Structure 1
């Protein structure tokens, strides 16, 4: 067993598994499990295929490259500028949101042991400490993430095991709403929950000796893990609460409190899971931004460390109470970066291969995502669907 590939799949899964997982039952349960499950499968399939397109672009461009260089090789300077702008906006927004959420969590944890710190202090503390792990390299992130993910799986298992005895199959197929427009609006929440593609170039670099088949499986396995977690969590919550109850909740805290009436320890367990989910997501996103800065600016680790964390930290301190708003902006940017940019890259590379143009560094026997032009067309429709879901 290749532990680097296993760890890489867990980095993908950990990046996707954010605190938004807890909100999924609140946005989907009112439409019934059938429609909720179908929509989640569509989002997962579209996102995973787009990730495989980015994998193809990364491999064919030579591997060991960041998005900056891949974009320059495939889309030219104009495409490089657009890609970098989208990527920086996305990663900074995500890191801002995670720093805000983690700062609040650290503040509460320290308060529980008698240490009082301000929100600003806890955000700075978290960023500095977690940033050291990121600056240590992908191998260090891999090892830390394996441990964190193992604890997350145990915590989720305890939660599901605790909720199963009180589950009722009576409400599993109930739907409080048949409004399909409102159902489509939830696509942005689900799509952001599968936002792992930013780590792929870094993982291709990390697994230099891996075969193309291994890299493909790494992406697929990494995306299947959060899908399974989301579906199990959705079924467990809907089995314990009615759709009418879930619709009335205005935040995750109310959901956790309602589940607490069924199992007394659920609040501590889910708070632990939320903290771990934030941390694994932070590590994955920060790794992507760190490697992007290293690829773009070609500076030493100390300078790259400052470039990576100064803007997200300042932004988090400035917008300390805007966690959900910042995530909303990130979700809109992610559509363009995760769907349309990889599509443009692979179309250009495939065109180079057909023309057998000279002067382009394209691997002759490189990996290619399946499906051909039909799958590419469906991916374009998927991207348009996601934009429509956020604008409707």
Structure 2
């Protein structure tokens, strides 16, 4: 292991750890912590497989290609176009999720919330979408530091608190699937895999190679371990947790303001980095005009927020159970087409099952209003 290994792990873990962490304490409390942890462990293995499959496809392609290029190469044209739409829609949904979280963190920091907060957050985040990449290079690091700060503060505050929440709950079969979408959203880091593969190639050129599968395994599992500690800490502080996690307990006013500031920094950096990513995909890969490419990440999230898509848990569940589940299906299908003779070809079936179950549950629950 060397610095390239730790860089690869850090990039993958840092990409996965985002807004999804704030939904996990609530969904775990609804289905039982034990079931939540079992699903988290299972889905971490699923995403280890998906991330590794995507890395293998990237290695086979011989270049630093985007998902859309690979989809066009290895999937039928109509499916590739659907994949392109889902990637962009999923990223736009992530921007919408950050808008939905902004009032919660603003309330902790400033004691205010409402549509005005959303507009201010949207304006500040949108300005940075159009800055040069050199001015954004620190954003990922700053976001990871902010997320780490939130976890550390919550863990520290929970020391000495008794865990009075039941590990097992009696829930009906349909409710058991509640964690699927939020957990998938919390573990997905497919967009970081090309950077991991690039680091792997550079390390080999410098004769400082590392195990790519082990780096991907560590970078995928590490967030899951952090999530377990975070869930236990939140439930120690407040067994009656809210869907936004940090809304459901009270610490000293100074600590609550600090958590609010860290939360705003974390979602702000993620907001404009993802917005820039959407803009670049539209402009470079789909050859959309510069004006339209810039307008899409600006307008779509705000318009949908104003239309009433404001519930954080619903948005996270749909993003994970619909967009990321289908993205995972496409990655596994691409890998299967490239490595049809692999001895691990059979793992496609259980991975497909997880993603399709998540997709089916989210569609049924959203349509039926459950």
Superposition TM-score, scaled by structure 2 size: 0.80
Deviation for aligned residue 1:314: 0.5
Superposed, 1:1-392 pairs within 5 Å as: 6-99=6-99, 101-102=101-102, 104=103, 119-132=118-131, 135-136=132-133, 143-166=138-161, 168-169=162-163, 171=164, 173-201=166-194, 203-205=196-198, 208-211=201-204, 214-242=211-239, 245-246=240-241, 249=242, 252=245, 254-257=247-250, 260=251, 265-282=254-271, 285-286=274-275, 288-290=277-279, 292-293=281-282, 295-297=284-286, 308-320=293-305, 322-323=309-310, 324=312, 325-331=314-320, 332-337=322-327, 339-351=328-340, 372-390=344-362, 391=364
CA 1:340–1:292 in 2, change beyond 3 Å: closer, same or farther?
same
Q: RMSD across aligned C-alpha pairs, in angstroms?
A: 3.5
Deviation for aligned residue 1:176: 4.4
Deviation for aligned residue 1:377: 1.9
Provide structure 2 residue ranges, at least 5 long, that are not aligned to the other structure. 366-370
* Contact residue 15 and residue 285 of structure 1 kept, 8 A: no
> Take 1:313 and 1:336, find their aligned partners in 2: how far apart are those partners?
25
- When structure 1 is superposed on structure 2, of 224-233 and 201-210 the one drifting more is 201-210
* Contact residue 63 and residue 204 of structure 1 kept, 8 A: no
* Contact residue 89 and residue 333 of structure 1 kept, 8 A: yes
CA 1:148–1:174 in 2, change beyond 3 Å: closer, same or farther?
closer
> Take 1:271 and 1:162, find their aligned partners in 2: how far apart are those partners?
15
| Matched residue SS, 2:160 | helix
CA 1:313–1:277 in 2, change beyond 3 Å: closer, same or farther?
same
* Contact residue 99 and residue 126 of structure 1 kept, 8 A: no
* Contact residue 143 and residue 269 of structure 2 kept, 8 A: yes
* Contact residue 53 and residue 343 of structure 1 kept, 8 A: yes
Provide structure 1 residue ranges, at least 5 long, that are not aligned to the other structure. 355-367
Aligned length: 353
Deviation for aligned residue 1:53: 1.4
